[in-house]
Amino acid sequence: MNQPKYLCRSGKSFFVFKFTSKGSKGLVEKIVEYTETDFENIYNLGFGDYDQVTDSMNDLSITDNGDSSKVLATVASTVYTFTDEYPSAAILFTGSTPARTRLYRMAITINLAEISQDFVIFGFNSEQNWEHFIVDKSYSAFLVTKRENIYTL
């Protein structure tokens, strides 16, 4: 997404990204992690706050740092980097709460034209099936992969 993004740090394998949210509540460390699922080439995207003191993650905290658009744009941008490194990967993600899943759906909707230039995106619907993402329809999870993979996966 061509929006302001935070500078990220990443390990050389690009499975983990870290950046610092800067806002009204101060500095908050964020972690994005891509984890292998039980299915080949399908990765789960995890995202949350990192507590350096306890060396632990929290994907339920509400940071309220006034920079949610920039944070989401940064997380989304890591998908481009990850899939550059692992082009056959498909990435599954869902919100840690229904409200966050709705937030992701809205962000996808707003940026769908741009996302669709490079990726295909699917929603996991109430019938418990995957379908091409439809604007204004509720989903409990999303899956994204490079466009060329719909012919090879």
CB 82 within 8 A of CB 14: yes
Residue 153 as a binder of other proteins (CB under 8 A): the answer is yes
Among 21, 63, 65, 77, binds other proteins (CB under 8 A): 77
CB 7 within 8 A of CB 14: no
- CB nearer to other proteins: give 86 or 130: 130
Least CB distance from residue 143 to other proteins, whole Å? 6
Dihedral sign of CA atoms 10, 3, 104, 124 in order: negative
**What string of DSSP letters covers 22-64?**
EETTEEEEEEEEEEE-SSTTEEEEEEEEEETTTTEEESS----
At 143, give phi and psi (nearest 5°).
-140, 130
Among 25, 51, 59, 62, binds other proteins (CB under 8 A): 59
Which residues of this chain interact with other proteins, rule CB under 8 A? Answer: 1-2, 5-13, 15-19, 31, 33, 35, 37-39, 42, 44-48, 57, 59, 74, 77-78, 80-81, 84, 90, 92-94, 96, 114, 118, 120, 122, 124, 128-132, 140-141, 143, 149-151, 153
